[in-house]
A and B are shown apart, each in its own frame.
Chain A
Amino acid sequence: MSSDTGFLYPFLEAEERDADRLLADLAESARAKAAESAALRRRTLAECAGLIETAAAELARRFAAGGRMYVFGNGGSATDAATLAALFARPPAAEGVRPLPAWSLAADEAVVTALGNDVGFDLIFSRQLIARAREGDIAVALSTSGNSADLTTALAEARRRGLYTIGFAGYDGGAFAAEGTVDACFVVRSQSVHRIQESQALLGHRLWAAVQRHLAAHGGGPR
């Protein structure tokens, strides 16, 4: 870029030296994205409030009857699945809070790589459900697209086996919303993977809190 027009495009200059302007722009951008996330979180909660209650009542009923929960996703959603499983299984100690049996199905590298290598990546979760899950259990899939084959395959398998199925998706819900294998489908209506995940985490937290409230209200029951 020539020096006489460079002042028009200061950020394109490799010679740019003043970081203050960049820092101000970064901070403003961060604030705008956080506000966008907050608006989406509130909108999502408003849309999903009824479904959270419905799903929580069913989860509480199943946990009280000895049901167990399996949570799974890919990539960042696999880590969010693990966080959700940890929230259910090892919540910070507080009065009236019950740890509930929940696992992330991406946690065991031996099982995941054995299944991925021997029978195919699309079956890494469904084959674990075939081995572990029973009627009365719960399957929870986290995705932003709602279309990942390993997740849709696992949800279909879970449904066949009598599990209660929950799907978290973004965009328009994808196959989670369309295929009819998801009992409770939480859709975060956004086009941004990051913003979708931030709202899904909040939905997961609210779902957990509602399950705890239902269990506290109706007593424990056999485990």
Chain B
Amino acid sequence: MTTNTAVPERDEVLLDETGARDLAAAALTLARRFAAGATLWCVAPSWEPHAHHVAVEFVHPVIVGKRALPAVALTGPDLVDQARLAVRPGDVIVAIAAADDPQVRSIMRRAPAWGATTLWIGNGPRPPAGAADHVLWVDEPDPLTPATGRFVLRYHLLWELTHVCFEHPGLLTPDTGGDCAGEVCVTCSDEGRLAEVIGPAGDLGGTLVRTATGEEQVDTTLVGPVAPGDLLLVHAGAAITRLDDEEATR
């Protein structure tokens, strides 16, 4: 437990160069999504007030004259179900949570199938590479870090930088930069697109799934029986692989 109330001899390094670059990239992505009509959905299962704080920053800016932007906190039980219902293609989800938070991990895995861009703020061990489009991590192991103002600084800066981006309209057009980082991008690689099972497709036969571009009917013969919520890779109208938890989080 941290009980030292002594004043540190020098200033903390609250944001290193890598952290600043990550934040800049996240802000530009967020500004682009807002410019295209996105809503920002905020989740923070263990420290819910942070979700509310992020939302109020964007909805009711502290600086007069800055535009109000759509941001909403999702709180309470069943966050995955809440997010699934709320998110529309093109939206953004920001999570403030540890890397092992099961609901946030599930939301992050599913987000590509919902067409959402993801930001993840947290501390302690980092999420695996590619777990979110933008990882804004505080490399501080203390479990009390969420209550020290360091997360508040991150999302304050995210808000401030996002509004700077709005002063550069030429850079806010879509597709001036992609979110496909890393070696595999399941939303656009040849391997297939991520899909979440909705249920049987009724008279159409096959299975109704949700992908980044909307709902579609696919053939699931290759992967066997599926249940609502299952994650699949689909290609050319057929599910070719099933993603299990281990595979998605490795």
CA distance A97 to B170 in the complex (A): 53
- Residue picked from A14, A30, A81, most chain B C-beta under 10 Å: A30
Name the A residues within 8 Å of B53 (CB-CB).
76, 79-80
Contact of B157 among A33, A52, A53 (CB under 8 A): A33
CA distance A15 to B176 in the complex (A): 12
Knowing A16-B170, A31-B17, A212-B3 are in contact, say whether A86-B47 is a contact too (CB < 8 A). Answer: yes
B2 at the interface (CB under 8 A from A): yes
Flag if B169 contacts A14 (CB, 8 Å): yes
Flag if B5 contacts A23 (CB, 8 Å): no
Q: In the complex, how many residues of chain B place their beta carbon closer than 8 angstroms to a beta carbon of chain A?
A: 53
Name the B residues within 8 Å of A197 (CB-CB).
149, 152, 156
A202 at the interface (CB under 8 A from B): yes
Return the CB mask of B124-160 against A: 1 if under 8 Å, else 0. Answer: 0000000000000000000110111100110011001
Contact of B3 among A15, A16, A76, A209 (CB under 8 A): A209
Flag if B62 contacts A194 (CB, 8 Å): yes
Interface size class of A (residues with CB under 8 A): 35 or more
Minimum CB–CB distance from B43 to chain A (whole Å) comes to: 14
A28 at the interface (CB under 8 A from B): yes
CB within 8 Å of B: which A7-32 residues: 11, 13-17, 19, 22-31
Contact of A92 among B14, B143, B168, B176 (CB under 8 A): B143
Flag if A201 contacts B152 (CB, 8 Å): yes
Flag if B21 contacts A75 (CB, 8 Å): no
CA distance A92 to B98 in the complex (A): 13
Flag if B1 contacts A94 (CB, 8 Å): yes
Minimum CB–CB distance from B97 to chain A (whole Å) comes to: 13
A162 at the interface (CB under 8 A from B): no
What 5 pairs between A and B have smallest CB-CB spacing?
Answer: A201-B149, A16-B170, A34-B15, A26-B24, A82-B49
Apart from A29-B161, A200-B149, 5 more pairs, CB < 8 Å: A13-B170, A26-B20, A42-B10, A46-B7, A201-B148
18 inter-chain pairs at a CB distance below 8 angstroms, sorted by A residue, are A13-B170, A14-B170, A19-B176, A22-B28, A27-B21, A27-B23, A27-B24, A76-B56, A76-B62, A83-B47, A83-B147, A193-B62, A197-B149, A197-B152, A199-B149, A201-B152, A206-B5, A210-B5
Q: List residues of chain A with CB under 8 Å of any chain B CB.
A: 11, 13-17, 19, 22-31, 33-35, 37-39, 41-42, 45-46, 49, 52-53, 75-76, 78-84, 86-87, 91-92, 94-97, 104, 193-194, 197-202, 204-206, 208-210, 212-213, 216
